Structure 1
Amino acid sequence: MADPLFSLDDLEEAARLVHARMQPTPQYAWPLLAEATGTEVWVKHENHTPTGAFKLRGAITFIDWLARTQPDCPGIVTATRGNHGQGQALAARAAGMTARIYVPEGNSVEKNAAMRAFGADLRIFGADFDTAREEAFRVAETEGLVPVPPFHRELVRGVATYAQELFTAQPDLHTVYVPIGCGSGICGTIAARDALGLSTRIVGVVSENADCVLRSMAASDLVETPTARTFADGLAVRVPVAEAFAIYSAGAERIVSVSDEEIADAIRLYFRATHNVAEGAGAAPLAALMQERQMMAGRRVGVILCGGNIDSAWFAEVLGGGVPQP
């Protein structure tokens, strides 16, 4: 096995930073989920952070690093579909920095509202996340703002604290299912597993409508997709991130793709079985477990409910049996 991305000391320092700003999130084994999946399934409830998603953890460690290494930094600029932007806005504004956040056209109305409420200077640009990201990086160069990339060592170090919490509480999980957008979540989970010396298998989950990661794994090289149209906006990435690919291509057991219909089914199952709200990306790991439930029967499994920030209209449509069309 390759050297761990982080040492235990690295993760413990990150946890101290993160837990000074937010409580650890719980992990629960819900009996109705066990009935539905045929497994003892532990849900890591990242929908219970102050922004409703796991991205806040990485924002805390990134902004702390930025304040220490560039103390005169006036502000940051980044692109997002919503959860990354909420975390960055909250952490940057708390540090006295501005936070310019780019989102694509047609982005979640409620995530946009939350980012503004956390102090973001929100800008709408382009047809999808990857186009908005290109504009954010252009603006950073011309306006003297620090760009926050979709993947950075300090983002991953903060995000890894959710996996550290889960693995510390449940060290003998056979498999953990993790959604993949740009890759900080799965890389943080792999990093925490390796730092703790565990043998847990990590399975990445993507949308079949945004499957650049699955294609890249099959080709052993980066493969872009022409579109990424899924209502699971946290998975809606066309361009794989090279630094993340290098980590999960070596450290993940496999990548599973799920349909929007399967994701909608998983959102309904979460609500019936736990009365928790899961957004599309948050429900994707449970959708993958349901797809592989015969293979996982009788095992102890973890699923990362990475966020619960789904717009009300889409949630109502899903609960009514529908599948939102992005």
Structure 2
Amino acid sequence: MRRCTADADKPMSVPIISAERRASRCTIARIRRSNLSSSAGIGRKHLVDGEKTCFAGEQRHFAAPRKPSIGRRLPRHCETSSMPTLTRLDRILAASRQIDPVFLDSPMLTNDALDAALRCRLIAKDETANPIGSFKGRGTELFAALALQPGESVVCASAGNFGQGLARAAIRRGHACTVFAAETANPVKVAAMRRLGADIRLAGSDFDAAKDAARRHAAASGRRFVEDGLEAEFAEGAGTLALELAGSTAIDVTVVQLGNGALLAGVGTAIRHVAPHAEIIAVVAAGAPAMKLSIDAGQVIETDHADTIADGIAVRVPIAATLAHLRACCDDVVAVSDARIFEAMRLIHHHLGVAVEPSGAVGVAALLDDPERFAGRRVATILCGGNLSPVMRERLLAA
């Protein structure tokens, strides 16, 4: 675990991973595969013929669904005939063999001054220091390795991080990749997808409009449409980071970003089995509440807008087939304001030396929003992405 001492009296003199992203001096300790072996043993004893998933975990208490104040219900229940393959622990345990090691064993950051400010013990899993600057490479690597036929072309929609991951994983294995992004997409992410070789198409005013365009293009061109949050491999790849967390430290609570749901499905499945007493809290942006509304209600509730600085979790149209699974993978879903998100970004940058994009900070924002809930507890969260737009980076550095 890396102890960050940016504001300590006597900072340690050790190598800095990235001068741009690491203003603080930190001691470095990677989580070794041997740790995963011990956690894997814990997990396997819970399996029944390799099929156990979040659904088969212990019964958890859920608050009664609240009536949504915005959005509209659709005549689609979350249990549909298109239900995807559920996230499975045995596949999470095996996933690291198929994932490029540059995405594995990411650092875990702690800082005493940040703990004091948050009134809890924070363990932050830093997924920003890899070739695409986000956790998405874990799942896209696994998907490209296991789910694609030789030479199969893919089409997807992305706010940027998923598209980078899929482009890198697919193109390196000989698969053409077309990514649809909104006309308003973060230009840094769009440029990165292009550099990785993706054919970029800008369409629509937001992510879900781009997804509709991508789905139409795939149908018209006879290519495979790949939907983030729907394919099990994306969640199972993401679940490897939870094994790394639970294999190295005790956790009372895990706070997880909730966009399309792959991160929650993977982390939730893993934590349910290797740290079964830990509470799992999913976080959405208050300006993009569709996932919270839908999980609370047990059916899809679309919203007309997704208005938040956290573009990576700005979902208007949840995937109906995943909602029951996601509900089983968490104990609660909370929403945080953009003001809280930016406050969390500022604290993370100041104390941990990491410039995270808004979506990467929503876990810490949830701690700021409800400090009594987390006081004195060991809380794990994920700094899931570091691809800030130029405007947001300038704002953060000036704060």
Does TM, scored on the shorter chain, surpass 0.5? Answer: yes
CA deviation map 1:42-65 (0-9, x unaligned): 001111222100111110011112
User: In 2 relative to 1, CA 243–32 (structure 1 residues): closer, same or farther, beyond 3 Å?
Assistant: farther
Distance 1:63 1:237 in 2: 24
Instruction: Please give the per-residue CA displacement for 1:59-105, whole angstroms capped at 9, x wherever unaligned.
Output: 001111233xx2241x1110000000000000011001111000001
The counterpart of 2:288, out of the listed 210, 227, 236, is 210
Give the Cα separation in 2 of the matches to 1:6 and 1:257.
24
Contact persistence 2:291–2:315 (CA under 8 A): no
Q: Provide the C-alpha distance between the structure 2 equivalents of 1:103 and 1:300, rounded to a whole number of angstroms.
A: 37
Tell me the CA shift for residue 243 of structure 1: 3.1
Matched letter for residue 55 of structure 1: K
The answer to whether the aligner puts 1:225 opposite 2:306 as a matched pair is: no
Name the structure 2 match of 1:295.
Answer: 373
Number of matched pairs: 317
Partner Cα separation in structure 2 for residue 149 and residue 169 of structure 1: 32
Q: Show the counterpart of 1:324.
A: none
With normalisation by structure 1, the TM-score equals 0.93
Shift of 1:23: 3.5
The alpha-carbon deviation at position 33 of structure 1 amounts to 1.6
CA RMSD of aligned residues (A): 1.6
Distance 1:176 1:96 in 2: 37
Q: Residue 141 of structure 1: CA displacement? A: 1.4
Moved more, 17-26 or 77-86: 17-26
TM-score (norm 2): 0.76
Change over 3 Å in CA distance of 1:243–1:29 after alignment to 2: farther
The equivalent position to 1:148 in structure 2, one of 226, 230, 237, is 226
Which residues in structure 2 correspond to 1:161-172 (within 5 Å)? Answer: 161-170=240-249, 172=250
Asked whether the 8 Å contact 1:6–1:192 carries over to 2, the reply is no
Q: Is residue 97 of structure 2 the alignment partner of residue 44 of structure 1?
A: no
Which residue of the partner structure matches residue 58 of structure 1? 139
Higher mean C-alpha deviation, range 126-135 or range 17-26: 17-26
Cα distance 1:20–1:314, how it changes in 2: closer, same or farther (>3 A)?
A: closer
Instruction: Measure the CA separation in 2 of the matches of 1:91 and 1:251.
Output: 27
Pick the structure with greater CA Rg: 2
SS at match of 2:134: coil
* Structure richer in helix, relative to its length: 1
1:2 aligns with 2:58: no
Cα distance, 1:154–1:298 mapped onto 2, change above 3 Å:
same
Check whether the contact 2:359–2:385 (CA below 8 A) recurs between aligned residues.
yes
Higher mean displacement: 56-65 or 192-201? 192-201
1:198 positional shift = 2.1
User: What is the one-letter code of the residue matched to 1:176?
Assistant: T
Aligned with 1:128 (options 206, 209, 224): 206
2: CA distance, partners of 1:96 / 1:281:
31
* Alignment deviations for residues 189-232 of structure 1 (CA, whole Å, 9 cap, x no partner): 11111342522111011111000122123323221111001111
**Corresponding residue number in structure 2 for 1:97:** 175
Q: Distance in 2 between matches of 1:244 and 1:286?
A: 25
Q: How far apart in 2 are the matches of 1:243 and 1:262? A: 31
Q: Indicate whether 1:275 and 2:337 are aligned.
A: no
Q: Work out the CA distance in 2 between the residues paired with 1:20 and 1:284.
A: 26
Partner of 2:48: none
1:243: which partner in 2? 321
User: How much does 1:6 deviate?
Assistant: 5.0
Look up the SS of the partner of 2:212 in the other structure: helix
